[in-house]
Structure 1
Amino acid sequence: MVIMNQEIKQLYAKIESLEKENKALAESIGDDAPSKNIFARSKDGILIFDDNDKIIDVNPSFCEIINLDRTELIGRHLADIVPVNKQFKLDKQRELLKMKDSVRGILPIHSGKKIVEFDFTTSTLNKSGYYMSVLRDVTDKRLLEKKVKKNEELYTDLFIEALDGIIFWRGSGKIIDANESACRIFECTHDELLQKRLDDFVYEKNERYKRIVKNLFDKGGIRDELFFLMPNGQIKSLEFTVKLNSVEGYHMTIFRNVSERHRMEKELRESELKFRRIFEGALEGILLWNDQFQIVDINQSGQRMLQMSKDELIGVSLHSILNDCNITNDELNQQINSIKNDGQSDGSLSITLKSGRKKYFEFSNKHNVFSNLSMTTFKDITEKLEMEEQLRKSDTLNVIGELAAGIAHEIRNPMTALKGFIQLLEDSIEEDHSMYFNVITTELSRIDSIINEFLILAKPQAVKFVQKDIAQIMKETVELLSAQAVLHNVQFRIYYEKELPLVFCEPNQMKKVFINIIKNAIEVMPKGGYITVSLQACGDNKVKVSIRDEGSGIPGHKIKKLGEPFYTTKERGTGLGLMVTYKIIEEHKGTIEVESKLGKGTVFHIYLPYIKKAGEQ
């Protein structure tokens, strides 16, 4: 670089001048006994010492330079005034003087708290056997040399080896110097660049370019970005910083090629746009989460399925969501370990949403998909499971219906005969055998009840749906079962929401549903307790009927089987009661959900649709 080269040359010239003065002084002294006149008047320090490095005499200049009196120096040894870590130079000087008449070098000497560096020439005095050193203070010279060296390193680091292109130019825009990086950026040799002006490379000298130039000369410096046309026809986007009058009136511009960065940014934006379209348009729910299992994003389908907004979910831990899904700690740890160890995991779970509706989801986790983010995809399989369950139950009911239709008639004929003969024998039964008669009568009634339930499944019932107050049906049911509840030390807690909408139903069948569930609740509490009945309107235009007991509860794997033919948790039950209950609710377009905790009881939630009144939202 021209400007920095001029400064370095000036420093070298000053150093060379000092060296010439030192050489002339050494030659003026000669080999004879020291001239008193030269000794006293010399600007350089002169020091005379013997074979043991003991100081014999010193001149005034040396005393002045190191700030010590002559009397303080005579009689001392050189080692007393030379730093310990540099005393090896004295040993080296002694060895060289045995082989030749004079020695030259650099020697540091103590001067109070600082060190003065001397350029010395030591010669042998022939007649006296002493040695004389002529010492010139070169502390400033050494500092200059260090500065020159530092400037050279700085010049190499900042200009020659810089990764960014650096160009110096005159006010007319004429390029006067450029580094290698600038040559590479502008696709030119150094000589070719020196024949150019900076604006020769500007692709478009439009209004924006003119504003940049004006701002530069108004402010004295600017940072911006423009398109530049290279000699080979290539167009590059260059980011540049300009500083006017940077060095000795010359201007400096630093260039950086950002074409590749812009290309990558454009590809990244396009890739992100594609990802966002796929992410938001996916039918499946998609969750993105970080290494701390915190949710960082969720698509619209996921928000819709979970009935939660993005603001509610972002920052929430997956642990808290999974903890709300009634899965065990072992299952949770197994899922997390699968994600960490295998990079992915799959499964299914159930979540109770804000509306109280229970939903089932299939999910798939993939670890560290991109940018240290992992992804979970999930889909709602509630309807699929419900359809499979309905299909399975429908197939079962069809089989039972056909079976019931075939055997009900065959059973009813002998049952009629048995009942008739029992009634004929009733008056002739002795008192001792009355207990057997009662058992036979009770069991015949139980068989008749089972046959009736079979017939409900075997053929469609002639039912008439009407708009009815479901609370009134429940009140009548509770009154009907109050006596049985008292016998078992069971009490009712009733919570009815006011002004419930009317439900389109068959009242007798609904009463049969409530009787079946409440009777079961009474029977599972042999030691007594409370049955809590609540009715309320909920979302989706439905009335929710909840019947809660305080029994021993039902294990999770058994809840799924409730309503199946002949499946019961009671010792003498047939399972037909709940099966009929499920069938009636299904015919009313309703649903049944069961919640249970072992040792705490069970609650049946029945959801029945109602018809909106005219004008209701």
Structure 2
Amino acid sequence: MLIKEYFINLSIIAFLVSLAIFFRVFIFHKNVRFYHLLGGVYAGIIAVISMFFHFEHMGLICDLRVVPLILSFIYFGRTAGWITFMFIAIMRIFYLGDDWEPSVIAFLGMSVVYTFLKTYLKNLHPFKSSILNLVVYAVLIQIVFWFTPTSIVFIFDVQLIILMFMGLLIGLFLIESHQKLYHLTQDLFRTNQALVESKQELKDTVHELQGGIFKYKKRNGRFLFTLLDGQFYDRIGWNSEDVIEKDLQAVCPPLLFSEISENFQLAWEGKEVSFELPWPDNETMIFISLRPIKREEKVLEVVGSIVDITERKKMEEELLTTKQRLESFINDNIDSIYIIDLEGQVLQVNKSFERIFGWSEQEILGQKLPTIPKDLLNEAQHLYQKVVSGESITEVETVRKRKDERLIDISLTLSPIQDTKGNVVAISSISRDISKRKQTERELHRLHQQLQESEMKYRALIEQASDAVYLIELDEEQFPTRFIEVNPVGSARFESSREEILSRPFTDTVSANSRMLMKIVENIRNGKQCFTLQDEYIFKTGKKITTEFSVRVFKLGEKEVFLAISRDITERLKTEELLRKSEKLAVVGHLATAIAHEIRNPLTTIKGFVKLLQNNLNEENQYYVEFISKEIEQIEVVTNEFMAVAKPEAVKVQLNDLQLLLNQAIVLLQPQVLMNNIEIKIEIKTDIQFIYCEGIQLKQVFINILKNAIESMPTGGEVTIEINEVDNNRLSIRFIDQGCGIPKERIPFLGEPFYSIKEVGIGLGLMSCYKIVETHQGTIGIESEVEKGTIVEIILPSYYSQAHEGDPSYYTEVN
């Protein structure tokens, strides 16, 4: 009978605990808010059910109510344990009836002890904690029932303790098994999830490869693809699903099949293979690498990778081209180029080195540089130390020695050669023979001094020149009534003070019958807000001047006024006429040179044959030969005169402020700028703005270019002048306008004689600009787009090196 009761109670405990696990796994698989409290309630329900199936043993009521109480304290905590105790106490009092006090007192004491154990031994393993709690149960039951007079004496029953132990063991086993299995399942789930993510990440990584990866096997003598992925295949339109399990011959171009098949076979035989070929077109180069996968010396499959090396091949070709160009630059350069190491030993020289200094490459390689005179060794050492520290030395004028001990003037440029880490490992030098130039400079120095005074006078005249400015009020009929403001030049024009002109009516100063005034009033009444007039003006004193009158009409507060800038262009018109004549003369000079050369060549031949005839003629014919000789001499005189017309003029070059030259050019064009509503801005993006030049000529270039820009913007706009440093020796001056632009097909012809894009131009102005810039060793570049604007860039040498700093007497000749 006892065994039957054991089986029933143990089965109930096992079922109810298993039911709790079922709910936990399949219903409450996620943690709920009051999960522990629900656990205490469910443990109390199990205890109540166990008490329904109680049985009597040795006069006592026996059941497994203590098992859910212990499990509740161990797994759900103190609060849940006390909830379970409340279920047990209520069931004992109201259901089992008589003599409930000892049992309730015993379970109350157990709950107190279990609370203490849970608080201070919370890290104790559940099995150990269960055994300890079961011992507490056995001891407290013994003590309570021993000291209860109304109860029978409790005899420690080993069989009952075994029942409790078995029930507790079943609950512990089920709960611990569930937790172990649950954690194992969670770990397995996380592992599988990580494996899936890793697999997907690997797949995505392979797919995002810039190249491509593939695998193949050999079956029945055919190479079949088993994997194919990567960005390379996406670019050529291949889908991996369309290629998998397909034969190499089905996807490979016929022309490349033989080569690819041979390499595939070598890899299948166990060799690592790499090769390049053009695919899928002749413009694309790919690099294929094949690696066999072996097991026990048997190839199972081959893994291949594809890399698009088109850009790398292009870079290799560019590097090769650059190398060839650099070698050509060094070997074919007209200047001497040599490279020395940090010890001063020669590593490389070009052909010009032998021509300039006399030593051959075989004589000088590995030797100390022999070109430095003894008295300049310290200077050379100082320069080399600067270069070793990373500094570049450009266009230093010094003296060097030839193999024949003759000294020559050179322009020296030194540059450091650095390795990939930035360390200086060698020094390169470019030497230009300037002996002839220095000789010419010395010969022309006197001429420069004579021209200096004349140039300074002309410069002072230009810098001090200014225009007359008037601000005049208009009446309702658009007729001038009075002067609002006038500058000193304007006052001087009318031989009156400023106060006198401002205090009297307009017609007292300017005649109402003036032709210039009538044209101004007519344009204003026709609605023109900005215009320029050019006419002769006769003052009341009888003085006549030709003026360029720029007018702009606007509102000054409530008054309608116009601003007038009057420029005396009488002298300028004369100068322009002289300039036109000078341009025509230059053209005649070019033509004269060509004619003179064409005449001299046959004339030399005729003269030679006449000399030969003189020795073999009689007296009668001798007269004619002498006559012919005199005529030939006359022709030589004429050709010499032609050459004199074409002889270039030597001009003086000095250090000039580039910004000052530009400002002076802008001042000369100010009336036209105001009249055309043009804004001119100068942007300086470099600290170097001084150049050696002929200031007047360069200023004329700026005037011509700015005038063209202004004329290309009849409705107004902005002209930006940018001064920037191209490199250590060159400055860039860019004129950027917003004008009508120039058709691209006409740009190559700009600067040629008699070619112009203007309706009234003959093309010599821009030709003059080209000639002046070329004589200054500079260049002109023109970029333009119709209806968007034009960019004219002038690049000039700055000549701002240490050799010239602080030396105002430095001059050079420009022809």
- When the two structures are superposed, what TM-score results if normalisation uses the length of structure 2? 0.28
Q: TM (normalized to structure 1)?
A: 0.36
Bigger proportion of residues as helix = 2
